[in-house]
Structure 1
Amino acid sequence: RMEQLSDMANGQTYTSNGYQDNNNESDRVPELRRISSASNFYDWEAVKNRYKKFHSDPNVNYFWRAHTITCLVLFCATLLYLSVFETSSFDTEYNTKRGLLAVILFFLLYGVIYTPDGPFLRPHPAFWRFILCLSVVYELGLIFLLFQNASDARHMLSYLDPELGKPLPEKDYGGSCLIYDPANTTDPFHNVWDKMDGFVTMHFIGWWLKALILRNYWMCNAISLLFEVLEYSLEHQLPNFSECWWDHWIMDFLLCNGLGIIIGMKTCNYLSLKPYYWTPMWNIPSYSGKLKRMVLQFTPYRWTEFDWSPTKSLKRWLLVLLLIAMFLLAELNTFYLKWVLWLPPPHPLCMARLVFILCMGATAIREIFQYTDDSSCKKFGRQAWLLTAIIVTEALICVKFDWPTVSKPPPTRIIVIWSVIISLTIGWTLWHFCLKQLIFAGQAELKDQQAADAVAAAPKSRTNRRRKDD
């Protein structure tokens, strides 16, 4: 039933002769809704992509099954080996680490098998179930850290890596802001080359991926612009935010972020226009075709455009504002966590967190968009709920562990800038969603009343003219 629904949503009907295109656009959506009602299931994504070319084989193969019995047997066999045949250790620290790791792995295994599927199917639904369960583990770890003090939390990280837990100097990106230094005859552009580190490439790749997640030019540029303003606003707290003006606006905002957003949105357009026809690998005769199919397994199953339309309704506008605020808070957490937990920027933990946040964010933003756009969706998505809790918990850790830094008052000019931004946002919201509607509604009501009065006065004028004629 779901496969039939998906095929009808994309203009195809399954008959005895195979899949046939249904060119009658007027009959497509009513039939789709009839099947949805009969099965008590409404496929919002299928309706949204009903005019795109899409076909997938309805058969469920070995690769897509849960394998619950196989996983249970392997898990019990592993426990049997570790508890009976392996030599016991009397090292308390070693046993504690292994016990905690075993508990986490069991939770992840159970969650991957039995957690409901998310909105994404590629490369495999189990991968996104794993991300969801790992989000729970990460949030539990953050909550545990939140109830420690800063010194103990830093010391606990040394159990993961002995090199952690040591204070690290933060690099100052300000320094000399001369683009061309005539005093340095050997390399007058040395200030520019000093800023060209590995983080420039990370900025570009990061915004390319963020554009694939948000799928909206306006939101991407708004977040990019506001984060540069936040760096200006918080450079009195973190030296890492102290950068030259051209580093902020030319290298970061225009080049790295801007090019990443443009290429990301071009990628979104390509993925939106391309047809999706999925053929099982065993139905492909050539080895080159099978290899290509394996590579395509890591591409989207189908692509849904995100038409956020923030000014369409007050609910959409507030959700978009909240999404931008949480996005910016997650970006700030990256820098403040490194500062309060003494994590060096090149450390694998920092990179792992960024990749993990991107994976969670992809699913969370897809769920938030459906919650915004789908009138039948009444519940906040699981991954969106978890990611929101994670971002808030990370921020609370930063506030608790280094309150003297976080509570440093900003300069007066920063207070003025943010007061203007917030006031303009509130003022425009009130105008667009309240005052504008009241004014135009009043004008329309006045015009209707005048038209009604004119219609009512017309018979009286004709009667008066007749009396004068008589």
Structure 2
Amino acid sequence: MAKPESKKSSTLAFVGKPVAEEQVTNGPAEPPVSGAAHEPGVKAKPGKRSTESEVFDDGTNTFFWRAHTLTVLFILTCALVYVTLLEETPQDTAYNTKRGIVASILVFLCFGVTQAKDGPFSRPHPAYWRFWLCVSVVYELFLIFILFQTVQDGRLFMKYIDPKLGVPLPERDYGGNCLIYDPGNTTDPFHNIWDKMDGFVPAHFLGWYIKTLMIRDWWMCMIISVMFEFLEYSLEHQLPNFSECWWDHWIMDVLVCNGLGIYCGMKALSWLSMKPYQWQGLWNIPTYKGKIKRIAFQFTPYSWVKFEWRPASNLRRWLAVLGIIFMFLLAELNTFYLKFVLWMPPEHYLVLLRLVFFVNVGGVAMREIYDFMDDPKFHKKLGQQAWIVAAITVTEFLIVVKYDPHTIMLPIPFFITQCWILGIVLILTWTLWRFFIRDITLRYKETRRRKQEGSAERERPPGNGSKTPVTSGRSKLNGNTDPLRHRKS
């Protein structure tokens, strides 16, 4: 993901050495400076984070980067004039209602893409991220509308989107026979493994690769991955497709799919944090090979910021990291519960569109959360994309609670409840020790040490402050260090 630009830089992006060399340097960049993107030869501004990469930009600002507000307004007006004067309105109420809703959404998107505030990312174009911000607002409004309907009307409304929806669908159970090698099946004794190898296996890998690029921290990704498997164990009495074999949980998911995705994501993060960021305008590159590279690197970050979460540094960051993990897990659970209560099959395109939506908005939200945590003096309020993503996650959960409270309120088995209570107690105990008891103890020891030093200073006899005995000049010249003897008067 990219870091915010301090200015609109160039038509496209080219990373590498000077244009005449026509190559990209993938080795270690120059040491990061405390500053934002700047012109070559210009010193960075003080006070910025040292985790920001150094960026060189020739400052090219072309037609590609302009907002084109008048052009968009003219095209929008022409379309509305055509519908009003030249097109005959069909005598179909349902069709006209759908088309009117779609037209209203498109007008709002046109406004947002040209007028909304820029976010922290600028590649491939700031308008791309403004578009997804507006899609977030539309999706939240849709969720609010569904939330205010009855359960029957809400599911019936889904039929207006797709007539195939609104029908109860059985959930697939991934448990059952958990033998890795089934000797009873002479044709294919490994049939249990092949049955689990569906389209969700590459989806798991790709999903965790992208999540790693969002979070940019190995241990947080692993904690979320393992915690979600514990949630599946805990909630398999509510959703049948949470019931999986032990090797499906820990080998297929955690080690193979999630682990491999996290590993590849960390390798990509390492490459992005080490390579230099040197940008030149497309028309300033003399060769076609350089122009092609320039176009390709337009879809890479403008610069890079390494996330250093440091959850144990203070209580505020610790609570923020716990909140991030909680919201991630809640958003993951909403994926399964929403399709369960709204009767959407797992392979439906709406489920896929929701995942694509979170892929595009999640990275921006995580960057805004990190900026808000790491630099609260400059980022005094939570970013707009992070705010709307949090609202979406909470609204989705409220829809699940309203549409199927019976499933949500199914009692959790007693031994699972004991495990979760033990985990919560351990977290609370560590929090109290780390940020309260430990700090109080350290302050008490420091105060006691200062008091002892002050008492020793007061008890020291006057005139004995110097530890080196005074010697006569003659003794020093003769090499004798005996103290100077006072003569009698």
User: Deviation string for 1:311-370 (max 9, x for gaps)?
Assistant: 111110000100100010000000000100011111111011011012111111100000
User: Deviation string for 1:69-94 (max 9, x for gaps)?
Assistant: 11111111011111111122111111
In structure 2, how many angstroms separate the alpha carbons of the residues matched to 1:12 and 1:220? Answer: 29
Q: Does 1:436 pair with 2:431?
A: no
Cα deviation for residue 288 of structure 1 reads 2.9
- TM-score, normalising length: structure 1: 0.89
Letter in 2 for 1:451: E
Cα deviation for residue 48 of structure 1 reads 3.8
Letter in 1 for 2:246: W
User: 1:425 matched to which residue of 2?
Assistant: 427
Structure 2, gaps ≥5 residues long: 10-31, 466-489
In structure 2, how many angstroms separate the alpha carbons of the residues matched to 1:229 and 1:140? Answer: 32
Letter in 2 for 1:453: S
In structure 1, how many angstroms separate the alpha carbons of the residues matched to 2:112 and 2:36? Answer: 36
> Which has the larger helix fraction?
1
Letter in 2 for 1:408: L
Cα deviation for residue 290 of structure 1 reads 1.9
Cα deviation for residue 68 of structure 1 reads 0.9
Structure 1 segments, 4+ long, off by >3 Å, are 1-5, 7-14, 47-50, 460-463
User: 1:373 matched to which residue of 2?
Assistant: 374
Q: Does 1:106 pair with 2:102?
A: no
User: 2:405 matched to which residue of 1?
Assistant: 403
User: 1:38 matched to which residue of 2?
Assistant: none
In structure 1, how many angstroms separate the alpha carbons of the residues matched to 2:295 and 2:84? Answer: 38
User: Deviation string for 1:36-62 (max 9, x for gaps)?
Assistant: xxxxxx8x5xx4456x44212323210
Cα deviation for residue 152 of structure 1 reads 1.4
In structure 2, how many angstroms separate the alpha carbons of the residues matched to 1:206 and 1:391? Answer: 18
Q: Does 1:361 pair with 2:362?
A: yes
User: 2:343 matched to which residue of 1?
Assistant: 342
Residues 146, 3 of structure 1: CA spacing in aligned structure 2 closer, same or farther, 3 A cutoff?
Answer: closer
Aligned partner of residue 158 in structure 1, secondary structure: helix
> Would the aligned equivalents of 2:33 and 2:50 in 1 still touch at CA under 8 Å?
no
* Superposed counterparts of 1:23-422, under 5 Å: 32-33=45-46, 44=48, 47-49=49-51, 52-376=53-377, 377-422=379-424
Q: CA RMSD in A?
A: 2.2
> Would the aligned equivalents of 2:369 and 2:386 in 1 still touch at CA under 8 Å?
yes
Larger Rg: 2
Structure 1, gaps ≥5 residues long: 23-27, 34-41, 464-470
In structure 1, how many angstroms separate the alpha carbons of the residues matched to 2:72 and 2:289? Answer: 32
> Would the aligned equivalents of 2:6 and 2:37 in 1 still touch at CA under 8 Å?
no
Letter in 1 for 2:206: I
Letter in 1 for 2:140: E
> Would the aligned equivalents of 1:123 and 1:299 in 2 still touch at CA under 8 Å?
yes
> Would the aligned equivalents of 2:38 and 2:56 in 1 still touch at CA under 8 Å?
no
Greater relative CO (CA pairs within 8 A, separation 6+): 2
> Would the aligned equivalents of 1:150 and 1:340 in 2 still touch at CA under 8 Å?
no
Letter in 2 for 1:441: R
> Would the aligned equivalents of 1:10 and 1:54 in 2 still touch at CA under 8 Å?
no
Aligned partner of residue 344 in structure 1, secondary structure: coil
> Would the aligned equivalents of 1:367 and 1:384 in 2 still touch at CA under 8 Å?
yes
User: Deviation string for 1:133-180 (max 9, x for gaps)?
Assistant: 111110000000001122211111111111111111100000111111
Residues 53, 459 of structure 1: CA spacing in aligned structure 2 closer, same or farther, 3 A cutoff?
Answer: same
Letter in 1 for 2:284: N
> Would the aligned equivalents of 2:57 and 2:280 in 1 still touch at CA under 8 Å?
yes
Cα deviation for residue 186 of structure 1 reads 1.4
Q: Does 1:454 pair with 2:447?
A: no
Aligned partner of residue 415 in structure 2, secondary structure: helix
In structure 2, how many angstroms separate the alpha carbons of the residues matched to 1:170 and 1:263? Answer: 32
Cα deviation for residue 222 of structure 1 reads 0.8
Cα deviation for residue 281 of structure 1 reads 1.1
- Percent pairwise identity: 53
In structure 2, how many angstroms separate the alpha carbons of the residues matched to 1:441 and 1:331? Answer: 42
User: 1:25 matched to which residue of 2?
Assistant: none
Residues 132, 286 of structure 1: CA spacing in aligned structure 2 closer, same or farther, 3 A cutoff?
Answer: same
The alignment of Structure 1 onto Structure 2 pairs a total of residues equal to 438
In structure 1, how many angstroms separate the alpha carbons of the residues matched to 2:7 and 2:209? Answer: 33
Cα deviation for residue 10 of structure 1 reads 5.7
> Would the aligned equivalents of 1:178 and 1:191 in 2 still touch at CA under 8 Å?
yes
Cα deviation for residue 292 of structure 1 reads 2.0
> Would the aligned equivalents of 1:10 and 1:49 in 2 still touch at CA under 8 Å?
no
Cα deviation for residue 287 of structure 1 reads 2.5
Aligned partner of residue 277 in structure 1, secondary structure: strand
In structure 1, how many angstroms separate the alpha carbons of the residues matched to 2:51 and 2:218? Answer: 21
Residues 188, 116 of structure 1: CA spacing in aligned structure 2 closer, same or farther, 3 A cutoff?
Answer: same
Aligned partner of residue 459 in structure 1, secondary structure: coil
